[in-house]
């Protein structure tokens, strides 16, 4: 019996390797680059969970753009060094946009004097989870940029700012839920 084609799989990676954008060379799926791209994909999912629970309408409106930016970043990393210019990732303007989102959210959040214990609201906890996944992706992105030329600086800055956005979003969501942050060190 002949296999029917699928829109959801190709079968080309069944031997444990995958292709990069713009190149014939294949990488083992265990490669550090693919771990980083997978972590960015995990971050888009975590951001989607945070978006699904968010009370703040502006945050819900901004997060799909963030998710699209992460797909641009994943494309940038997936490209071979020879084709990377075709997939530039994010731009300085995208980093500036993130900074504006952070400024808008932090206007309603009191300053902190210690680490925060996540878990005051479902939306806040989801934002914290996304923040932690983004930090892991950022570490992988930095390691990749140290070994392969051509990773554009805005991509590194974007990952760094994105974790800050998700931290402030968590605080904002907790505040909207009527909870104030619990600090890692309790007041004596």
Q: Are strands 26-28 and 182-183 parallel, antiparallel or unpaired?
A: unpaired
Given a cut of 80, whether residue 1 has pLDDT beyond it is no
Q: Has residue 7 been placed in a domain?
A: no
Given a cut of 90, whether residue 47 has pLDDT beyond it is yes
Q: Has residue 21 been placed in a domain?
A: no
Give the percent of the chain with pLDDT over 90. 64
The parent domain of residue 112 ranges over 27-180
Residue 181 is predicted with a pLDDT of 84
Q: What is the number of structural domains in the chain?
A: 1
Which residues are registered as beta bridge partners of 183?
116
Q: Has residue 5 been placed in a domain?
A: no
Residues 72-78, mean pLDDT to the nearest whole number:
94
Q: Has residue 4 been placed in a domain?
A: no
Hunting for tokens 């968590």 — which residue is that? Answer: 170
Given a cut of 80, whether residue 12 has pLDDT beyond it is no
Q: Has residue 80 been placed in a domain?
A: yes
Extended beta strands in the chain, E state = 17-19, 26-28, 116-117, 182-183
Q: Has residue 57 been placed in a domain?
A: yes
The enclosing H or E element of 10 equals none
Given a cut of 80, whether residue 188 has pLDDT beyond it is no
Report pTM: 0.90
Query: What average pLDDT does the chain have?
Result: 91
Which range, of 32-46, 111-125, 160-174, averages the lowest pLDDT?
111-125
Residue 9 is predicted with a pLDDT of 81
What is the CATH classification number for the domain harbouring 83?
1.20.1200.10
Given a cut of 80, whether residue 53 has pLDDT beyond it is yes
Q: Has residue 43 been placed in a domain?
A: yes
Phi, psi (degrees; rounded to nearest 5) at 21: -65, 130
């Amino acid at each position: 019996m002949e296999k029917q084609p699928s829109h959801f799989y190709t079968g080309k990676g069944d031997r444990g390797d995958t292709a990069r954008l713009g190149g014939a060379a294949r990488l083992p799926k265990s490669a550090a680059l693919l771990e980083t791209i997978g972590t960015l994909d995990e971050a888009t999912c975590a951001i989607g969970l945070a978006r699904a629970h968010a009370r703040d309408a502006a945050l819900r409106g901004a997060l799909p753009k963030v998710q699209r930016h992460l797909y641009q970043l994943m494309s940038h990393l997936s490209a071979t060094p020879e084709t990377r210019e075709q997939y530039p990732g994010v731009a300085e303007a995208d980093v500036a946009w993130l900074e504006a989102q952070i400024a808008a959210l932090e206007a309603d959040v009191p300053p902190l004097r210690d680490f925060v214990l996540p878990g005051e609201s479902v939306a806040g906890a989801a934002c914290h989870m996304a923040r932690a996944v983004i930090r892991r992706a950022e570490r992988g992105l930095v390691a990749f940029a140290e070994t392969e030329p051509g990773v554009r600086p805005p991509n590194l800055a974007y990952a760094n700012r994105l974790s800050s956005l998700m931290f402030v979003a968590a605080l904002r969501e907790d505040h909207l839920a009527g909870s104030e942050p619990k600090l890692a060190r309790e007041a004596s």
